[in-house]
Chain A
Amino acid sequence: MGMTMTQKILAAKAGLDKVVPGQLISAKLDIVLGNDITTPVAVNEFNKAGFDSVFDKDRIAIVLDHFVPNKDIKAAEQSKQCREFSCNHCISHFYDVGKMGIEHALLPEQGVVTAGDCIIGADSHTCTYGALGAFSTGVGSTDMAAGMATGTAWFKVPSAIKFNLTGKLPGNCSGKDVILTIIGMIGVDGALYKSMEFAGDGVKTLSMDDRLCICNMAIEAGAKNGIFPVDEKTVEYMTGRCERTPVVYEADSDAEYEKVIDINLSAITPTVSCPHLPENTRKASELSQVKVDQVVIGSCTNGRMEDMETAYKILKGKKVADGVRCIIIPATMSIMRECSEKGYVTAFIDAGAVVSTPTCGPCLGGYMGILAAGEKCIATTNRNFVGRMGHVDSEVYLASPATAAASALTGYITEYKE
């Protein structure tokens, strides 16, 4: 029996010819990632264990993104600790205010991650980089500390679910609608411990931003990782960007999958996850009675350039509905700059929205858009758990940038029609 793409990368990184699902391996890491919330815990563990050096200063990425520019004194202390550790260990990929972006938009954009990599990050959405054909998974701070010290991590080789994509998305849908539809089908633990392997003719119709968004939310189905094959679009994206040479792995034709699920992209409709689990999906068109107080367009899921273009297309020359706060957060400084250059920022402000510098802020209820009791928000973020964006009695509806922008104009959840 052959191996999946994920299994092939893990075998190579463990120095083995073959691995099988369930096998415990120790694999070499290409990148170890942390942010301003998880890195302080990792640094404390690293120091407590008595390590005095990192395995490779060029293979560690520390990104301040959750609470920066700092929201309070305690958050500032956490950033300071990350800054000092990065300085002391000469971490080359340290991203502070002015350079930073939301980690999972930033690392692909800056070419820090590439095809064939084995990556761990102390952030659950580290699975995003599977879009480039890498094995990439979220871990905790102790794993980050161990990874920084040794350049290795232990893994249980995952079994796989294959998603066979066919067709082409309708014009009012994007990668977000695909992944929300899948999570609605299989549930929040539908891919628990497994890899989600995307394949089929439909892959080539998806943009890189769509693929990054789809892999980003693999964790919301419980998956260890999500992964796309490397095709012309991936190569084009990586060329001139990635600092290391991409290595392309392909699934064996006789690879074993626990399940194969067919997804016809042409049949996808604008989809919304209702409170309080990402699996509670409904068609956007069925939710037109839901009145919203706030709209958030941004996050590691949907703060990329295509997402900003979609928001611009829908909001330009229009007005955000009375009583709605619309918060737009480009995910990196270079996306922010491009939004500014192209006049998007002006158009957003003219529409009555606010535009923030990159931050995870409202997605996890940190700051920059906290909800009061009873308030509802439609957001392009990734989780709608109880209290995720503020008060325990507030509600978050997850949607695509098109659905979120269209809803900002009406004040109700609205399916965007081209």
Chain B
Amino acid sequence: MKTTGHVFKYADNVDTDVIIPARYLNTPNAAELALHCMEDIDKEFVKKVQQGDVIVAGWNFGCGSSREHAPLVIKTCGTGCVIAKSFARIFYRNAINIGLPILECPEAAEEINAGDDVTVDFDTGIITDNTTGKTYKSQAFPPFIQNIIEKGGLLASLKDND
């Protein structure tokens, strides 16, 4: 599985309140929520994002609340992958559980620029910046987590184990 798209770049500690502000959490409807993705730090994001695009960010991406709405809106907007220097643990767990690919790679997160054209290969963990020609290797998921992603999320994997 691969994704190719343009990069939206953000700083450290992007929290779940800016990914999807709580004032919109009066609905569980993903499409409705996704209209407000990243609104409080980047009003242009939802207007510009296209299928397969990649979010690149610094340390501790997704810190704060446990709201699963956060990875859900990022995925629903069409984002193909999030690359960060590190992820907050609940966000990391939620992203895997709903099937949003996320990769930790400090070097790539540092060097890749906003607007670059990037390809991410989830099977190998190879990130290619097509604009600069540089490649980066991120750590592959452990088998336990690969299984969840392959089955299409946590609940699907549980049903499969029945």
Contact = CB atoms under 8 A, between A and B. Distances in A.
Interface of A: 24, 37-38, 40-41, 44-46, 48-50, 66-67, 71-72, 74-75, 77-78, 121-124, 126, 138-143, 145-146, 149-150, 154, 188-189, 192-193, 219, 222, 224, 277, 364-366, 370, 383, 385-388, 392
A49 B97 contact: no
Given A72-B26, A386-B40, A49 B64 contact: no
B67 A37 contact: yes
A71 B26 contact: yes
Interface string B143-162: 01000000001111011000
Between A124, A193, A277, the greatest number of chain B beta carbons within 10 A of the residue's beta carbon is seen for A124
A190 to B, nearest CB: 10
Interface of B: 13, 15, 17-18, 21-23, 25-28, 40-41, 59-60, 63-69, 71-72, 86, 88-90, 93-94, 97-98, 142, 144, 153-156, 158-159
A145 B97 CA distance: 11
A40 B67 CA distance: 11
A220 B67 CA distance: 15
A224 B89 contact: yes
Given A146-B154, A154-B144, A387-B40, A365 B23 contact: yes
Contact of A41 (B18, B28, B142): B28
B22 A222 contact: no
Given A140-B66, A388-B17, A67 B89 contact: no
A382 B69 CA distance: 20
Between B13, B89, B90, the greatest number of chain A beta carbons within 10 A of the residue's beta carbon is seen for B89
Given A72-B26, A189-B59, A387-B40, A139 B18 contact: no
Contact of B27 (A74, A139, A224, A385): A74
23 contacts: A38-B66, A67-B26, A74-B26, A121-B66, A123-B66, A124-B66, A140-B66, A140-B68, A140-B90, A141-B68, A142-B97, A145-B155, A146-B97, A146-B158, A149-B155, A188-B13, A189-B13, A192-B86, A222-B63, A365-B17, A383-B17, A386-B17, A386-B18
Nearest to A26: B144
Given A37-B25, A142-B97, A383 B64 contact: yes
Contact of B98 (A46, A66, A142, A365): A142
Contacts of B26: 67, 71-72, 74-75, 78
A307 B27 CA distance: 32
Contacts of A71: 26
A364 B15 CA distance: 13
A387 B59 CA distance: 20
Contacts of A383: 15, 17, 64-65
Contacts of B93: 139-140, 143
The 5 A-B residue pairs whose C-beta atoms are closest, nearest first, are: A140-B94, A140-B68, A74-B26, A49-B155, A142-B97
Nearest to B27: A74
